[in-house]
Amino acid sequence: MLPLTGITVVALEHAVAAPFATRQLADLGARVIKIERPGGGDFARRYDESIKGQSSYFVWLNRSKESVTLDVKSEPGRAILHELVGRADVLVQNLGPGAAARLGLSPEAVLARDPSKIVVGITGWGGDGPWAHRKAYDLLVQCETGLVSLTGSPDEPARVGISVADIAAGMYAFSAVLAALYRRRLTGEGAALEISLLDALGEWMGQPAHYTEGTGTQQPRAGARHATIAPYGPYTTRDGRTILISIQNEPEWTRFCADFLAQPDLATDPRFATNPLRVANRDALEEIVAARFAELDASEATSLLDQAGIANAGVNTVADFLDHPVLRARDRWREVATPNGPIRALLPPITFAGLEPRMDPIPAVGEHTAAVLAELGRTPEEIADLARRKVI
């Protein structure tokens, strides 16, 4: 039995943050009933058509869920929605500001009807405060938290290449639900939980925030190099490959100088004897390290680094990652069904010894509507009537 078997989640969700949270719950065995708009469904279904004509975002975020189409603005649709929430353990929503309250599903309203419910709202800028009613998208939050100002080359800032604010909020929503379920088991009490993209990514900005507050200066953009540790970055080998190395402490630095650079005296050079000195004299250090890499083929460089116990990695493309030997050797890929045929997907990162993770299909729009309504006691005639009236 998976850990969340028996838990039912109703998800009023779209895009990335909430679907990411509820997919983690589904991975662990929860039943996730995803409410979608009749017709097109979650607009993330149309972000792209890259994977067998389907959105890469949607197939990543929505496996193992049941899709129910419902016009929640209509009176019968809202009544069905309230029935579903009434039977669920958890309600997760990332609707626009105020939308859940207008549906009668504010945390206060839901908990007044059933104090054991767990109600999760994912917002952009927080449910209160001066920006409560502003829209928020991932890149906007990357900008407002200062993340974009840290990422990129010295000449140009850049966004992080994945939806990092959405993912951060989704992960905090996932862990908050687990904590609330545990507390409910002990006390019987439900919970009203809120996670904002700003707060979630703000937490991840903790180190540069402390650095800036402590020094009065923001750490510089350094491309693929670490802004405050050296040497920590990519170098090109004689055969044109790129290898990234990371020196984390003085014993590693000493071994790196002796065993890789073949310059043991460099470890105590007054310019490089500590990490702050190495950062301050980065240009001179980079010249020495780059020259050594340029003398070696990638295989030679990797062998020397491994022998010296220096952390290193190839700077891969996404295609390289898809064929990564570690994923293949550890059997981390599974086949997942989609409306347009099977695709590969990685196993969830949480591994329970002795349990095979849940990797059920990605649903078509409204695929489970009739079955779920039948569970609520609707007859085939009533379901057909709801379809004719475009409630479902």
Could you read off the pLDDT of 195-253 as tens digits, one per residue? 999 999 999 999 999 999 999 999 999 899 999 999 999 999 999 999 999 999 999 99
Asked if 219 and 208 touch (Cβ cutoff 8 Å), the reply is yes
pLDDT tens digits, 342-377:
999 999 999 999 998 899 999 999 999 999 999 999
Q: Nearest 5°: CA angle at 213, between 211 and 216?
A: 90
Cα(123)–Cα(17) distance, integer angstroms:
9
Residue type, 25: L
Cα(339)–Cα(52) distance, integer angstroms:
9
Average pLDDT value for the chain: 96
Cα(118)–Cα(173) distance, integer angstroms:
11
pLDDT of residue 48: 96
Instruction: Describe the chain by its helix, strand, coil percentages, rounded to 5.
Output: 45, 15, 40
178, pLDDT greater than 90: yes
CA dihedral sign of residues 108, 113, 118, 123: negative
pLDDT of residue 290: 97
Helix (H) or strand (E) holding 154: none
Point out which residues pair with 346 in neighbouring strands.
Answer: 333
Is 324 a catalytic site residue?
Answer: no
CA 131 to chain centre: 24
> Domains in the chain, please, with CATH?
8-205+331-388 (3.40.50.10540), 232-314 (3.30.1540.10)
Cα(97)–Cα(344) distance, integer angstroms:
36
Beta strands in 19-175 (DSSP E): 31-36, 65-69, 90-93, 118-123, 152-153, 156-157
136, pLDDT greater than 90: yes
Cα(273)–Cα(266) distance, integer angstroms:
8
pLDDT of residue 49: 96
Point out which residues pair with 33 in neighbouring strands.
Answer: 10, 66
CB atoms within 10 A of CB 294: 12
Considering only the C-alpha atoms of the chain, give the largest distance between any 2 of them, rounded to a whole number of Å.
85
From the candidates 14, 82, 210, 226, which is the catalytic residue?
A: 226
pLDDT tens digits, 79-91:
999 999 999 999 9
pLDDT of residue 357: 87
